[in-house]
Amino acid sequence: MNDAHDIQTRQTIVRLLSSMAGAKEISQYLKRFSQLDAKKFAVVKVGGAVLRDDIDALTSSLAFLQDVGLTPIVIHGAGPQLDQELSAAGIEKQTVNGLRVTSPEALAIVRRVFHAQNLRLVEALQAFDARATSIVSGVFEAEYLDRDTYGLVGEVKRVHLAPIEAALNAGSIPVIASLGETAGGQILNVNADFAANELVQILQPYKIVFLTGTGGLLDDNGKVIDSINLSTEYQHLMAQPWINGGMRVKIEQIKDLLDKLPLTTSVSITRPDELAKELFTHKGSGTLVRR
Ligand code: X2W
């Protein structure tokens, strides 16, 4: 770690301490997280919009975790970047049930964009003196979801942890793109939330965090909802007219995920600059979803 980075780290910690509940609370969480097996700490899903709009806050939050000895597992999407690059190539956007119909021509662009976004995040982390490992293949073994409807879109069938474990063993943050491949080696486009869900089911980490541009689920006034208890609020919530399509899908996915995990598991949705607050304070940040 160089001097400038040292100072920056100290400044981050001081900022954090002063803005949060206090050192005692932070050290409690730090101790708890440090005692976990590296694989069990946290899976952080990063939406493409965060990579586009908030990469500085994202990299400093992730680098901070590494500075305090914790290694999150990062999985990212690239939705807005794909929209842009495909449109620039004259390929019209078509989605079914929120999933992008992917032609062979589109897949070439999907691969290129995923690789570019992955490398961009890894390089941004390295520029922050963090250790990060690019993983764009070898994790998600997939099959065609429904080739007639979606084209080259995958459904994850198996998760291979070896590339992730190798990075963690080296103390390096695994940065994983949500591309899948069939047993025969065909690359497929996989929705990043779906891929994150599969990863979480296998790893069952202590913390599951979705980083989004909105910083949580929003109520009818556009205000972040603090917490949702799905066992009592799911029906009521889904019946609300102000719940938009994207949020509906997200809540359904989180419910589906939590249903498959131990009862004590929760999912947090927050902003990248509030990641430390979410992890190290009782109050947390963004929206906490429980079952
Ligand atoms: C997604 C993959 C990217 C993604 C897509 O093509 O947009 C499918 O829809 P975000 O930014 O996390 O939404 N794949 C099949 O999920 O990115």
pLDDT in tens, 38-54: 999 999 999 999 999 99
Spatial distance between the Cα atoms of 21 and 163, rounded to a whole number of angstroms: 37
Nearest atom in ligand 1 to the alpha carbon of residue 110 is 6
Q: How confident is the model at residue 1 (pLDDT cuts 50, 70, 90)?
A: very low
Q: Is the CB of 192 under 6 A from ligand 1?
A: yes
3-state secondary structure string across the chain: CCHHHHHHHHHHHHHHHHHCCCHHHHHHHHHHHHCCCHHHCEEEEECHHHHHHCHHHHHHHHHHHHHCCCCCEEEECCHHHHHHHHHHCCCCCCEECCEECECHHHHHHHHHHHHHHHHHHHHHHHHCCCCEEEECCCCEEEEECCHHHHECEEEEEEECCHHHHHHHHCCCEEEEECEEECCCCCEEECCHHHHHHHHHHHHCCCEEEEECCCCCCECCCCCECCEEEHHHHHHHHHCCCCCCHHHHHHHHHHHHHHHCCCCCCCEEEECHHHHHHHHHCCCCCCEEEEC
Q: Is the CB of 99 under 6 A from ligand 1?
A: yes
Please say whether the beta carbons of 159 and 199 come within 8 A: yes
Spatial distance between the Cα atoms of 128 and 272, rounded to a whole number of angstroms: 15
pLDDT in tens, 210-240: 999 889 988 888 899 999 999 999 999 999 8
pLDDT in tens, 93-136: 999 988 999 999 999 999 999 999 999 999 999 999 999 999 99
Interface ipTM: 0.99
Position 84 pLDDT exceeds 70: yes
What tokens does 271 get? 């902003």
The Cα-based distances of 260 to 145, 273, 286, 291 in angstroms read 21, 29, 23, 10
Distance 164 CA to ligand 1 centre (A): 21
In single-letter form, the type of residue at position 279 comes to: L
Distance 78 CA to ligand 1 centre (A): 6
Predicted local distance difference test score (pLDDT) of residue 19:
62
Closest Cα to atom 13 of ligand 1: 79
Position 200 pLDDT exceeds 50: yes
Distance 13 CA to ligand 1 centre (A): 34
What tokens does 237 get? 């919530």
**Any idea of the CA torsion for 61, 63, 68, 74, to the nearest 10 degrees?**
80
Spatial distance between the Cα atoms of 78 and 72, rounded to a whole number of angstroms: 19
Q: Is the CB of 156 under 6 A from ligand 1?
A: no
The Cα-based distances of 71 to 61, 130, 174 in angstroms read 11, 10, 8
Q: Is the CB of 135 under 6 A from ligand 1?
A: no
| Tally of CB atoms within 10 A around 126 | 14
Q: Is the CB of 117 under 6 A from ligand 1?
A: no
Please say whether the beta carbons of 201 and 34 come within 8 A: no
